[in-house]
Amino acid sequence: MARRNDSVPIDDPTALAKFGRLEVVAKLLVEGCVIGQHKSPFKGASVEFVEHRKYYPGDEIRHIDWRAYGKTGRYYIKEFEDETNLRCYLFVDCSGSMAYGNSTLSKFDYARQLAAALGYLLLAQQDGVGLVAFDTKVRERFEPGTSPQKFHQLTAALEKCKPGAETSLGEVISQTLPTIPRRSLIFVISDCFDKVEALTAALKRMRHARHEVILLQVVAPEEETFPFRSPTQFRSLEKNGHRMLVDPHRLRKLYVEQYQEFCEALQKQCTGMGIDLLKMTTADPYQKVLGAFLDARSKP
């Protein structure tokens, strides 16, 4: 077990990333800082049978329905109400735009450290954790489970992922939504750089399916303030490396206005759908953001 150490720079995400493996980073971050603040929103005492689902590696063998296996030759997990009270899926954006990082670590590195910390926190509360890592399609996926092996599976999958193609959140949701069990808790970790209409339509489908959705918008400090001064060449991280030389002085006002309009529109849409939206920069300490957020959700 990792222990909190005052010499560990847990307030600095960039310095924290230098500790290497996500397992170590997540434990250093969560233990002693955030753990204990989270309370599952869907708790109950019923043990009524609810449904079967396919068996996935890492599931508890004791939950296999052997009668179903005898009839079908396939493994199914028998789930009960108290076990389905909180399934959590971490949707992590692996698109090219997430590779950006200038004064801090990249948005993708920040996002996967955040996902690992959330996974560790949820598993510590005996909540089920699964992963969907995506760009234009699903790159890595595994189903929620509460076994200790799930944390290793989560961090191994996140370490394997690399920022790739363009974002297609709407398409990914269309592919995965029919396979996500009812009443799940879904964290979407992304920079959200997509058309607001397409993005909110995808999120709305999640809400219509009765999932609780939490959108964690990860942005770089430079995307908030556009601090560039001298003529700067910008390279697309998604569209075949397209480059453009611009004068930041002429572009700054228009960029800041459009960026603020985008963020305000996204916040308005999320509020209207009952979706929690938390925006953070890659310079923000994880425990400050997560602690404040989880503390707010624990209040009646």
Q: What is the CATH number of the domain that holds 136?
A: 3.40.50.410
Are 74 and 205 found together in one domain? Answer: no
The length of the chain is 300
Residue 18 lies in a domain: yes
Instruction: Return the pLDDT at 67.
Output: 82
Are 78 and 25 found together in one domain? Answer: no
* Structural domain ending residue among the three candidates 57, 82, 107: 82
Q: Note the pTM of the prediction, 2 decimals.
A: 0.76
CB atoms within 10 A of CB 190: 23
Handedness of CA 119, 120, 121, 125 (dihedral sign): positive
Domain span at residue 285 reads 13-43+85-298
% pLDDT > 90, the chain: 34
Max Cα separation, the chain? 71
Contact 93, 106 (CB under 8 A): no
Are 148 and 166 found together in one domain? Answer: yes
The 3-state DSSP class for residue 37 equals: coil
Are 72 and 93 found together in one domain? Answer: no
Residue 2 lies in a domain: no
**Among 6-15, 18-27, 193-202, whose mean pLDDT is lowest?**
6-15
Q: What confidence tens digit (pLDDT) does each residue in 257-280 have?
A: 999 999 999 999 999 999 999 999
Residue 240 lies in a domain: yes
Tally of domains within the chain? 2
Q: How confident is the model at residue 234 (pLDDT cuts 50, 70, 90)?
A: low
Residue 76 lies in a domain: yes
Phi then psi for residue 36, to 5 deg, are 100, -15
Are 27 and 57 found together in one domain? Answer: no
Instruction: Return the pLDDT at 42.
Output: 44
Are 121 and 210 found together in one domain? Answer: yes
Q: What confidence tens digit (pLDDT) does each residue in 136-181 have?
A: 889 999 999 988 899 999 999 999 999 877 777 878 888 899 999 8
Residue 261 lies in a domain: yes
* Structural domain ending residue among the three candidates 25, 58, 82: 82
Are 72 and 92 found together in one domain? Answer: no
